[in-house]
Amino acid sequence: MTSAIETLISDFELIDDWEERYRYVIELGRGLPVMPDALKSPATKVNGCASQVWIHSRIIDSHMDLKGDSDALIVKGLIAIAFMIFAPLTLAEIEQVNAQDIFAKLGLKDHLTPQRSNGLASMVARIKADARAGLQPG
Active-site residue numbers? Answer: 49
Of 111, 61, 60, residue with least CA distance to 81: 111
Surface-to-core class of residue 94, CB atoms within 10 Å of its CB (0-12 exposed, 13-18 middle, 19+ buried) = buried
CB 121 within 8 A of CB 48: yes
Surface-to-core class of residue 57, CB atoms within 10 Å of its CB (0-12 exposed, 13-18 middle, 19+ buried) = buried
Of 100, 107, 38, 35, residue with least CA distance to 71: 35
